[in-house]
Amino acid sequence: MKKIHALLVTLLFGFASGAGLFALALLPSPEVLQSERRKPAAPPAFSDLRDGSWMRNFENYAADKFPLRDSFRRLRAFTALYLLRQTDKDGLYLDQGHAGKFEPLNETAALRCAEMIAKLAANYPDQQVYYAIIPDKSIYARRDFPGLDPARLREVAAPILDELTEIDLVPALSLGSYYRTDLHWDQAKLRPVVEALGDRMGFTPRWDFTTQGLGAFHGVYAGQLALPLKPDEMTILTDGVTDGAAARYFDAKSGEFVSGPVYHSGKVTGRDPYDVFLDGAQALVILENPNAETDRELYVFRDSFGSSIAPLLLPNYRRVTLIDLRYINARILPQYVTFSPGADVLFLCGWQIFNANTWMT
């Protein structure tokens, strides 16, 4: 019996490790890690031997090309959340059908971001300047995760931004306002947010939109968590204004603005389906409403959340200019954008922007 036992154990280990060896050696690396929305790690260069990064880089390369990678990632998530009953896996959680990621407030980064906004806002004495912080969806999850206190963020930011008009978006949102598998808010659920903005910025929101479905998608957290989650439905809101609007996108290479649609429906099947809204990562976008009944203009310093709400603000403005300081430095902004006197300026920042302070000034 002992011999059979030993033989079986040996065979099992030999087969498993041998299969892994052959798979690692023979299988090519995937071009893209679809669920993680990134390219796999490249094999290390020989120069990495000098700085001691060879081992780490090779391990990243091997782990990224490991066969059944997504299945093993799923197993790890399952182990953490269901077997070990942990409330999150590396900060990623699943609650009430929503996947999310806890990002505790980084007060230092938040402070710097608030100072940056205050400094930028000082450049616009002839405009009405507002700011609104988009809360992370995690504050609506039924969890007592420490360090996710929007009141604390306001405490940090408010004294520095006291010259600006604050728009509190916390009451206007709920967990249902966000996609279940993504960090972003769902455009179709933004009516209370537009109303909150209109209330403080002095416009009466129009809500004559038609909902158009573009298909199912899995958001960024579904990929990160690696659990089999029900997909979200990507919808866009359209009306005569969005249909008739002209969108111009800044092309950094030519330094010119290039025309394009407001919604990029084909992107729903791309790496980041949220690129449907204003083509995703863009330094500058100008939306023109040729049928506007007003001359008001709006400049929005924003992140990706701003892409989906901008079309909903367009009926109340003749022109909406979107500026993403992650992709353009504030110092060169005057070369491309002239702020009209009397216009509205809105700093609309997600929790992540405050936490990581990724704007360039």
Partner 1 sequence: MLFSSVTFLYGFLPLTLALYFITPMRKGSCSLRNVLLLAASLVFYAWGEPRYVLLMLVQCVAAYLFGLGIEKWRGKRAGEIMFALSCCVSLGALLFFKYTDFVLINLRLSPMRLALPVGISFYTFQVLSYTIDLRRGNIKAQRNFITLAAYITLFPQLVAGPIVRYTMVAQELTLRNHSTEDFARGVERFMIGMGKKVLLANVLGQLVDLIRGQPGALAAWTYLLAYTLHIYFDFSGYSDMAIGMGRMLGLHFPENFNYPYTTRSVAEFWRRWHMTLGSWFRDYVYIPMGGNRVRPLRYCLNIMVVWGLTGFWHGANWNFMLWGLYYGLLLLFEKFALRGRQERWPKALQHTYGLIMVGLGFVLFDCVSLSGAGKTYLALFGFAGGVNREALYYLRSYALPLLIGIVGATPVPARLAKKCRDSAPRAFTAFTLFGIAILLALVTAGLVDGSFNPFIYFRF
Binding site for partner 1 (CB under 8 A): 1-10, 12-14, 16-18, 20-21, 23-24, 49, 52, 54-56, 58-59, 62-63, 66, 69, 72-73, 75-77, 79-80, 84-88, 90, 144-147, 226
Contacts of 265 (CB under 8 A, 6+ apart): 214, 236, 276
Rounded to a whole number of angstroms, the minimum distance from the CB of residue 286 to partner 1 is 42
Rounded to a whole number of angstroms, the minimum distance from the CB of residue 224 to partner 1 is 10
Cβ atoms < 10 Å from Cβ of 228: 10
Residue 141: alpha-carbon gap to chain centroid: 18
Strand partners, 100: 93
The one-letter amino acid code at 291 reads N
Rounded to a whole number of angstroms, the minimum distance from the CB of residue 150 to partner 1 is 15
In the complex with partner 1, which residue's Cβ is closer, 10 or 329?
Answer: 10
In the complex with partner 1, which residue's Cβ is closer, 77 or 309?
Answer: 77
Contact 150, 132 (CB under 8 A): no
Q: Of 283, 241, 232, give the one whose Cα is nearest residue 262.
A: 241
3-state secondary structure 59-92: HHHHHHHCCCHHHHHHHHHHHHHHHCCCCCECCE
Rounded to a whole number of angstroms, the minimum distance from the CB of residue 121 to partner 1 is 33
Rounded to a whole number of angstroms, the minimum distance from the CB of residue 330 to partner 1 is 34
Rounded to a whole number of angstroms, the minimum distance from the CB of residue 4 to partner 1 is 7
Rounded to a whole number of angstroms, the minimum distance from the CB of residue 71 to partner 1 is 8
Tokens 């008001």 identify what position?
296
Which CA distances in Å does 326 have to 21, 113, 271, 330, 358?
Answer: 42, 12, 19, 9, 6
Q: Of 132, 112, 129, give the one whose Cα is nearest residue 163.
A: 129
* CB-based burial, 29-65: b 16+ in 10 Å, e otherwise: beeebebbeeebbeebeeeeeeeeeeeeeeebbeebb
In the complex with partner 1, which residue's Cβ is closer, 5 or 142?
Answer: 5
- Positive/negative CA dihedral, 230, 36, 211, 207: positive
Contact 32, 38 (CB under 8 A): yes
Rounded to a whole number of angstroms, the minimum distance from the CB of residue 101 to partner 1 is 14
In the complex with partner 1, which residue's Cβ is closer, 52 or 255?
Answer: 52
Rounded to a whole number of angstroms, the minimum distance from the CB of residue 232 to partner 1 is 23
Which CA distances in Å does 171 have to 15, 139, 203?
Answer: 57, 11, 19
